[in-house]
């Protein structure tokens, strides 16, 4: 795709997105001032911008929101998926407006600033999304300076010099550094999150944190499990001392093949033990690698809360939430791994199950409630398998 000359800086422009090919996109900055370099992707969800930005799977990425009105319901302390946001920043169409929700405790602009995340508004996000669809997710620099002063040559140098997500392990960087227990449950409008609702006598799930979303843990607890979270680099022996009844492989950022260097040998030992296993997103990709399949970087990835997935066993369609830029190649699956779900957007693999050991995984996020509960059965299926094995 031909690159147009860099447009002159418009009056009042305090934010800029500089792509690795030299393209310059101007806007108005909000949130924190500064510079960040990463991959630009797009997300098609109409709601949940706080959950998206705080999802650890977005580490190393700048999110273009295709829905124009982002920030209009403010922010709060409930709608976050990790202790702090992991996306580098975001690009939006409309300016951030005052919060219009009884649940809001802080304007979205203030929330972004408090967490050191950069935003740009006033961008033609439709054109940027089309560019990503046609040419793939580009590396770029996002910058905000309230005086409007930018060194474009230096920003271009940074964008061109960033190595990209292919071959990059980010899971070990953002994972927890120590074990911890989790027993909080699901959220309700009346009571908020269910506190200390775990089942102390339930089957013990050890969840490996490659970039864990909190709502995954809440759903495991709601399904009846007792949960312990361990770091991404936890060894087989360290995990087995916890006496797990089953293993959960979490979502996370980066290239699964890079994370798989240390994760796959551990997972293979669990499979050899016939220990029940459930993976989501990066966990799905790591399970695929553990049985000998291959992963590939997608051109634009799947990110949004409106992705239809077909369940191959009965033909039912689930409306799912997705966030991934890598995928397991279906044609590389071994004979003991059968596809269970496919994306109806492009036919890519969205789920697999092993035929010789109790392990399964999905590429999408059943905890994200886009359907809103089309896929919650997966947590119940996993925990029920642990109770049956016990």
By annotation, the residues acting in catalysis are 281, 365, 367
CA dihedral over 363, 367, 372, 374, signed as positive or negative: positive
DSSP per residue, 211-271: S--HHHHHHHHHTT-EEEEEETT--HHHHHTT--SEEEE----B-HHHHHHHHHHHHHHHH
The helix (run of H) or strand (run of E) holding residue 41 is strand 34-43
Compute the distance between CA of residue 148 and CA of residue 267 in angstroms, rounded to an integer. Answer: 50
DSSP per residue, 331-367: GG--TTEEEEEEETTT--EEEEEESSSSEEEESS-GG
User: What is the Cα 42 distance to its own chain's centre?
Assistant: 12
> Which residues does residue 341 pair with via DSSP β-bridges, in sequence order?
311, 351
Cβ burial 163-178 (10 Å sphere, 16+ → b, else e): eebeebbbbbebbbee
Cβ burial 235-267 (10 Å sphere, 16+ → b, else e): eeeebeeeebbbbbbbbbbbbbbbbbeebbebb
Compute the distance between CA of residue 154 and CA of residue 120 in angstroms, rounded to an integer. Answer: 19
Q: Give the tokens for residue 209.
A: 């944190």
Compute the distance between CA of residue 284 and CA of residue 78 in angstroms, rounded to an integer. Answer: 27
Compute the distance between CA of residue 270 and CA of residue 265 in angstroms, rounded to an integer. Answer: 9
Residue found under tokens 């969840």: 207
Compute the distance between CA of residue 49 and CA of residue 2 in angstroms, rounded to an integer. Answer: 32
Three-state SS string over 69-100 comes to CCCCCCECCCCCCCCCCCCCEEECCCCCCCCC
Q: How many CA atoms lie within 13 A of 111 on its CB side?
A: 28
Please list, in sequence order, all residues whose beta carbon lies within 8 angstroms of the beta carbon of residue 159, skipping any fewer than 6 positions away.
18, 19, 20, 37, 139, 140, 141
């Amino acid at each position: 795709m031909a690159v147009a000359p860099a447009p002159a800086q418009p009056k009042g422009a305090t934010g800029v997105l500089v792509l690795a090919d030299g393209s310059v996109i101007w806007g108005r900055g909000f949130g924190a001032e500064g510079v960040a370099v990463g991959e630009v992707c797009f997300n098609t969800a109409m709601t949940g911008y706080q959950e998206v930005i705080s999802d650890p799977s977005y580490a190393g990425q700048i999110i273009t929101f295709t829905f124009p009105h982002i920030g209009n319901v403010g922010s709060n302390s409930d709608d976050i998926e990790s202790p702090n946001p992991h996306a580098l920043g975001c690009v939006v169409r409309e300016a951030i407006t005052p919060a219009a929700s009884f649940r809001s405790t802080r304007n979205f602009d203030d929330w972004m600033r408090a967490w050191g995340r950069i935003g740009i508004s006033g961008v033609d996000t439709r054109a940027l999304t089309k560019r990503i669809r046609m040419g793939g997710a580009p590396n770029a620099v996002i910058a905000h300076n309230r005086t409007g002063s930018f060194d474009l040559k230096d920003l271009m140098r940074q964008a061109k010099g960033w190595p990209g997500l292919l071959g990059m392990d980010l899971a070990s960087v953002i994972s927890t550094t120590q074990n911890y227990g989790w027993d909080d449950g699901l959220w309700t409008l009346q009571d908020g999150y269910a506190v200390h609702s775990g089942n102390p006598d339930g089957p013990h799930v050890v969840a490996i944190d490659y970039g864990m979303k909190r709502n995954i843990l809440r759903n495991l607890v709601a399904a009846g499990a007792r949960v312990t979270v361990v770091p991404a680099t936890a060894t087989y022996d360290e995990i087995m001392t916890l006496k797990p009844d089953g293993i959960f492989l979490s979502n996370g950022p980066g290239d699964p093949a890079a994370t798989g260097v240390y994760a796959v040998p551990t997972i293979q030992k669990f499979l050899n033990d016939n220990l029940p296993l459930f993976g989501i997103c990066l966990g799905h990709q790591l399970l695929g690698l553990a049985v000998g399949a291959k992963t590939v970087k997608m051109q634009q990835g799947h990110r949004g809360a409106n992705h239809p997935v077909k369940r191959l066993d009965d033909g039912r369609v689930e409306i799912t939430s997705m966030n991934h830029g890598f995928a397991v190649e279906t044609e590389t699956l071994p004979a003991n791994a059968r596809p269970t779900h496919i994306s109806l957007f492009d036919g890519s693999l969205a789920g697999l199950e092993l035929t010789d050991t109790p392990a399964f995984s999905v590429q999408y996020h059943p905890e994200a409630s886009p359907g809103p509960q089309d896929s919650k059965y997966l947590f119940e299926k996993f925990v029920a398998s642990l109770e049956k094995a016990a």
